[in-house]
Amino acid sequence: MFRSLEPLLEQVSKPIQYVGGELNSTVKPWDVGGDCTVRWALMYPDAYEVGVPNQGVMILYEVLNERPDALAERTYAVWPDLEALMREHGVPQFTVDAHRPVGDFDLFGLSFSTELGYTNMLTALDLAGIPLHAADRDESHPVVVAGGHAAFNPETIADFVDAAVVGDGEEAVLAITDIVGAWKREGMPGGRREVLLRLARTGGVYVPAFYDVGYLPDGRIQRVAPNAPGVPWRVAKHTVMDLDAWPYPKQPLVPLAESVHERMSVEIFRGCTRGCRFCQAGMITRPVRERSITGIGEMVERGLAATGFEEVGLLSLSSADHSEIADVTKGLADRYEGTNTGLSLPSTRVDAFNIDLANELTRNGRRSGLTFAPEGGSERIRRVINKMVSEDDLIRTVAAAYGAGWRQVKLYFMCGLPTETDEDVLQIAELAKRVIDTGREVSGRRDIRCTVSIGGFVPKPHTPFQWAAQLGADETDARLDKLRQALRADRRYGSAIGFRYHDGKPGIVEGLLSRGDRRVGRVIEAVWRDGARFDGWSEHFSYERWMAAAERELAAFGIDVAWYTTREREESEVLPWDHIDSGLDKEWLWQDWLDALDETEVDDCRWTPCFDCGVCPQMGTEIEIGPTGKTLLPLTVLGSGRARMAEHAHP
């Protein structure tokens, strides 16, 4: 397709994002595995700069391309300027690797980490010439498969996707490739319906077409039932147990254009059992599975050699909770001493942070700001959300950081949590002021800064808060306005406290999409037809457009946006995602919701007896943590080795 595309690129912003050819990218011959090659187009439905560093897509891209009978290429959402030109000149959605039309592939896999990417999916389908509705597709069209965290409630996009996969993708995409490959070798018997039936009967792929949804007169769901023989009532998530057996990506992509993360990343463990009640990622990725210290070391060594990056991100939901994190960071810092290779952890838990850890992270790199996420402003609200961090814990931690030479701390909170009051949110201001006072006292300096960053809370499926009422947009904005006034009221803090927040409107749309059912698909299509694109970007997002579309499309069902967002659910209500089995016991989640309302905290089951959440027995899994007792090898310090080589080179 590149000949058709190239003349258009000089007319658009950031044309480099469409040309491909990144270091470690792969272009395989179209018939690499003969006539029965299984071909995947993989999409992160956002701009290149956001999508290219995404670990999930990068891992699947590499896993699939290692197979001799398969190929995978990547595609990203095109900006509106190029979309208009593509429509004008008849250029379809293309991959960046070989610039092939997405419509020519067997499978079109989309990874959704947020629901706000749904309209970008419709743009890609439409540009690719793939009918928007799964019911209108035939054997000539790719099978459209959704994955990622947002796929744990696939109902709002059930009209548009042929299938959804929940959980870890590594083994799942290989199993799907086997099924599609066998069907192609047999001559595609039974057509599209047959291959979808084969996928659905595995119990690990959800095919919405094979499930009927019945509704009660008041709009609630009566039941979701399979309508084809051999299709299970519930679809199970996939869990990769031995992370060391899946050391991907081995050859991380190095973007040509600027991207949101300019680093090489290694996932050091998967899952979290801290039990924060708002956190969907922590709930749906259970159990905890650690990568070994030696596995981490090998991935870092290979990844740096393959990319030339100067920063290594040690990724997980709570990286400082790895049972050997001190040995991991010290071993890596020792190994890369003098090489300008820095280490970073994403947002660190207050109670898992210590100065030794922080010093190892910055030994070879730059000392940037530290980010902590207390999430709730008051002790009370932190008990509600099970974020077991006291104010004194936070103050002790920031005192240690400021005392050790850090100048900037970022604190992340949420607004609109269940049972929250104005007072809970105003406590954030008091906490920020205490942080600044502490920093000034221990450092003896005035140039101490603290940035308060606030996101609106959105209740998510498969969490104890899935029954909760969401705070309305106007109420959220009013609460944040009071907080801003409280932060600005005391001149002693002036510019020392920064304040960043999102207004409540995008959260309401996200809430509609995350807890919606199949009827919301009509809203997504209507808003897309009205011009919605890149809803995760504030400059493209239009709350009014979403609300107008929702009012038009939901009226026929006697429901509205508030019915999906600000309404609290009863225990007996059938939730749209109940037939998607995340392993979590619904009764356990309900009890944890009651515990939240009672402000009862629950410990981390990694270090305490099991709380019967259901995941381990139901999924045939178990918590896998160290310590392994091993050390990082080889023990050579790379920097000193280079120094010795330089001495020999210049006697």
Tens digits of residue pLDDT in 308-364: 998 899 999 988 889 999 899 889 988 988 888 888 887 677 877 777 887 787 777
Higher per-residue pLDDT: 446 or 353:
446
Other Cβ atoms less than 10 A from the Cβ of 574: the count is: 18
Read off the pLDDT of residues 530-589 as tens digits, 9 standing for 90 and up. 999 999 999 999 999 999 999 999 999 999 999 999 999 999 999 999 999 999 999 999
pLDDT at 646 over 50: no
* CA angle, 265 then 269 then 275, to 5°: 125
pLDDT in the model for residue 347: 64
Residue scoring higher pLDDT (632 or 201): 201
- pLDDT (tens digit per residue) in 283-301: 999 999 999 999 999 999 9
pLDDT per position as a tens digit, 38-64: 999 999 999 999 999 999 999 999 999
What is the identity of the amino acid at 271?
G
Considering only the C-alpha atoms of the chain, give the largest distance between any 2 of them, rounded to a whole number of Å.
88
When pLDDT is cut at 50, 70 and 90, the band that residue 90 belongs to is very high
483 pLDDT tier (thresholds 50, 70, 90): very high
Residue 383: CB atoms within 10 A of its CB come to: 18
Half-sphere exposure of 346 (CA within 13 A, CB side): 15
pLDDT in tens, 118-177: 999 999 999 999 999 999 999 999 999 999 999 999 999 999 999 999 999 999 999 999
Structure token digits, residue 266: 């290694």
Distance, CA of 291 to CA of 274 (rounded, Å): 18
Q: Where are any strands of DSSP class E within 283-404?
A: 289-290, 311-315, 342-344, 370-375
Instruction: Say how many C-beta atoms besides its own lie within 10 A of residue 386's C-beta.
Output: 23
Residue 323 C-beta-side C-alpha neighbours within 13 Å:
16
Predicted local distance difference test score (pLDDT) of residue 644 = 36
Q: HSE (CB half, 13 Å, CA atoms) of 489? A: 12
Strands (E), 535-635: 580-581
Per-residue pLDDT, averaged over 633-643, amounts to 51
- Type of residue found at 62: E
- Per residue in 228-242, pLDDT (tens digit) is 999 999 999 999 999
Question: pLDDT at position 569, please?
Answer: 97
pLDDT in tens, 576-610: 999 999 999 999 999 999 999 999 999 888 888 88
Task: Compute and round to an integer the Cα radius of gyration of the chain.
Answer: 25
Q: Which pLDDT belongs to residue 367?
A: 67
pLDDT for residue 634: 52
Q: Residue 219 in 3-state DSSP?
A: coil
pLDDT band at 651 (very low <50, low <70, confident <90, very high): very low
pTM of the model: 0.95
pLDDT value at position 339?
Answer: 85
Q: What is the dihedral of CA 555, 561, 565, 567, to 10 degrees?
A: -50
pLDDT band at 642 (very low <50, low <70, confident <90, very high): very low
Q: Which of 552, 476, 553 is nearest to 511 (CA)?
A: 476
Residue 243, pLDDT above cutoff 90: yes
Cα 452–Cα 455–Cα 458 angle in degrees, nearest 5: 155
Cβ-based neighbours of 493, under 8 Å, separated by 6 or more: 432, 433, 436, 487
Beta strands 370-375 and 408-415 are parallel
For the chain, give the mean pLDDT: 92
Exposure letters 178-192 (e unless 16+ CB within 10 A, then b)? ebbbebbeeeeeeeb
Q: pLDDT tens across 367-386, in order?
A: 667 888 899 999 999 999 99
Q: What SS3 class is residue 111?
A: strand
pLDDT band, residue 262 (cuts 50/70/90): confident
**Preceding omega of 576 cis (within 30 degrees of 0):** no
pLDDT score recorded for residue 638: 59
Spell out the long-range contacts of 186-193 with Cβ–Cβ below 8 A and sequence spacing 24 or more: 188/139, 191/138, 191/139, 192/137, 192/138, 192/139, 192/141, 192/143
- Classify residue 18 by burial, with Cβ atoms within 10 Å: 0-12, 13-18, 19+: buried
Q: What is the structure's pLDDT at 650?
A: 39
For 500-521, b/e burial (b = at least 16 CB within 10 A) is: ebebbbbbbbbbbbbbbbbbbb
- Residue 363's pLDDT is what? 78
Q: How confident is the model at residue 633 (pLDDT cuts 50, 70, 90)?
A: low
